[in-house]
Amino acid sequence: MQKSELPDPFEEIRLKSGVGEMNDQDDPVKMVLRHKDVRKTAHNYKTFTSAAVPGRIVVPSEVNIRKTRQIPFELDPPIHGVYRAIVEPWFKRPLQADYAEKLTAQINALVEETLEKDKVEVIEEFALILQSRALTLLLNIPYEEASTWISWGTHVFRSEDTALDGDKANILYDYIDKQIEKAIKNPGEDLYSMLLASEFDGKKLTGEEVKGVMVLTFAGGRDTIINVVTNAITYLSEHQESLERFRKEPEIIGKAVEEMIRYFSPLTQMGRVVTEDTFVCEHAVKADTRVSLCWASANRDAAVFENPNEIVIDRKINPHVGFGFSHHNCLGASHARQIMKVLLSALAENVASIEVFDFKENIEDLGEFKRKVGYDYINAKFNRLTK
């Protein structure tokens, strides 16, 4: 098996019954595994709500470490749509030329720094730095702020030995509270200030609502970006020919990004809470229990994708659900796509090859399934392309 391979642990059960099961802190989850069912369930917000107790739709559940409702993520239509409309234009800024230019400068500089090193630990010294620096653009705040976030380490809710670390989560919440206070006193051109100036139902957003958007922005785009970046690096270490292709055919980079999101599925699943006794894929589920939409499984469904377990770098038809599906599709998707496009171009233009020395896989424990989602560490070297 290649280092960069992410096996699909769901195939057998997806074919057999379409529904998997996992326990999660005594609040079990029925995992919906087929592409068709995942999409159908995602649409049906009346029976499968996102507006449950804050943290409960996340797997693993965050109910014990979070009281703030993430917005618009933990809401249902029609209210969801009103909040989404407030934040959507801001989260489309990554499509603007000057944003892409700044991002390109950041990523080129990081690749250059990395080329100078004999060894780079790809998670802490590359992906985390890339994600944190890029986040300053998304928030439109000074670049220097990235160093604070880098000092928190890779996970905002997870520490070395605890999957859900309340103390660590509090660092983030306290930080966001302080930033909101600052923006109230001193409004600027940043995301906090934009949110504080926005109105819902003719009233300014409350501090708690602003916090809800900010916690989502920090938490939702951290592990996910880090996972996709590190998986991409490992993949390229074994597929030098893809770097070569990006150089010769830069027009395929957009497709390559979608394919990596499909194959790596950086967020394995997202939950919903059932509002009435019903069925998923012919399995009875009870009101007030949890189901999850397993994006990672749907993205390997052979009923939809030819050669689902292969990275087809220029895959033509790719209706993946790596960014979720329906009204809750990922708010940060434009930012994430732009990061990945810029990264693949920067690597193609400057890097001849990547050597991976050693690594440790990060395996998610999902009851009957164990899924590789990324790495705990990867020691590597980037070799310069001589032009």
Binding-site ranges for ligand EMZ (CB under 6 A): 58, 62, 70, 73, 157, 216, 219-220, 223, 267
Give the nearer residue to ligand EMZ in terms of CB position, either 147 or 329.
Answer: 329
Dihedral pair phi/psi, residue 380, rounded to 5°: -150, 175
Q: In what order do the strands lie in the sheet with 351-366?
A: 120-121, 369-384, 351-366
Q: Which is nearer to ligand EMZ, 323 or 382 (CB)?
A: 323
Strand partners, 382: 354
Provide the H-helix boundaries in the chain. Answer: 11-16, 35-43, 79-91, 97-115, 122, 128-139, 146-151, 166-185, 191-197, 207-220, 223-238, 240-248, 253-264, 295-298, 333-350
226 or 380: whose CB is closer to ligand EMZ?
226
**Least Cβ distance, residue 66 to ligand EMZ (angstroms):** 7
| C-beta separation of 329 from 42 below 8 A | no
3-state secondary structure of 40: helix
Nearer to ligand EMZ, 325 or 382 (CB): 325
Least CB distance to ligand EMZ at residue 376 (A): 16
Minimum distance between the CB of residue 60 and ligand EMZ, rounded to whole angstroms? Answer: 9
Between residues 210 and 354, which has the closer beta carbon with respect to ligand EMZ?
210
Min separation Cβ 223 and ligand EMZ, Å: 5
Query: At closest approach, how far in Å is the CB of 37 from ligand EMZ?
Result: 20
Return the SS3 of 139.
helix
Cβ atoms of 65 and 165 closer than 8 Å: yes
Backbone angles phi, psi at 371, to 5 degrees: -120, 130
Whole-number minimum distance, CB 324 to ligand EMZ, in Å?
Answer: 7
Tokens in use for 262? 């499909």
Type and span of the H or E element at 377: strand 369-384
Number of residues that make up the chain: 387
Least distance to ligand EMZ, CB of residue 74, Å = 9
- CB nearer to ligand EMZ: give 18 or 212: 212
Quick one: 315 or 320, whose CB is closer to ligand EMZ?
Answer: 320
Which CB, 129 or 216, lies closer to ligand EMZ?
216
Least distance in angstroms from the C-beta of 58 to ligand EMZ: 5
Give me the torsion for CA of 31, 37, 42, 43, rounded to 10°: -160
Residues 6 or more apart whose Cβ sits within 8 Å of residue 170: none
